[in-house]
Amino acid sequence: MMKRELTLTDIAGYLDHPLLGQHPTGAICWIDVEFIAQHGISLAGYKPVLRPISDLCEEITEQGYNEGKPFVPIVTMAKVAYNDVGDWGHPIYSGEVYQCSCNGIFYGFEPTDGSFIVCDQTGFPVFSPKQRDLFDLLHRLHFDYRGLIDAGLAVSVHDLKQNPYEAANN
């Protein structure tokens, strides 16, 4: 099997927000977008620092987001999809889907297909509204929904001594 390399396609969505990378020396620094655009990500040798998708159901903080207050990303995403209507809660990983619920409706992210889905009590899944906004939010929050960490092409925030994306006041 041919070894996969990190491409600009893998990180393009993240570049609209400050993105940290781990240099081959181990140093953590901001990825220089101009250098990447001119020479490519593989020449720079950086591995982007990302959150694993499992953090969707965990309480996190993010510098410059939600006023630095803790939040659960999958709950926030359900609120984005439904214009902040509903009392979404109970975040869990079902073994297939990272999800939360509201009034018998389940909202989640299915990592195998990379899709946001909604299921009613019958269990029949449909695609979530506002998918583009939701993927933008995954980028903004530095989530690895493309499997880059598992492929060895990105570094998990949990593998560092301190998560560099956490709000400074925590």
**DSSP symbols for the chain:** -PPP---HHHHGGGGGS--EEE-TTS-EEE--HHHHHHH-HHHHT-EEEEEEGGGGGS-B-BTTBGGG--B-HHHHHHHHHTTT-S--EEEEE-SS-EEEEETTEEEEEETTTTEEEEE-TT--EEEPS-HHHHHHHHHHTTEE-S-TTTTTSSEEGGGSSS-TTS-TT-
The mean of the pLDDT values for the chain is 89
Task: State pLDDT tens for residues 105-117.
Answer: 999 999 998 999 9
Angle at 159 between CA 157 and CA 163, to 5 degrees: 35
Segment 21-42 mean pLDDT: 81
Beta strand 125-127 with 115-119 is antiparallel
The region of weakest confidence among 4-8, 68-72, 87-91, 162-166 is 4-8
Instruction: Kindly state the percentage of the chain with pLDDT values over 90.
Output: 57
Beta strand 47-52 with 143-144 is parallel
Whether the full predicted model's pTM is greater than 0.75, yes or no, is yes
28-32, 43-47, 120-124, 160-164 — most confident range: 160-164
Strand partners, 20: 30
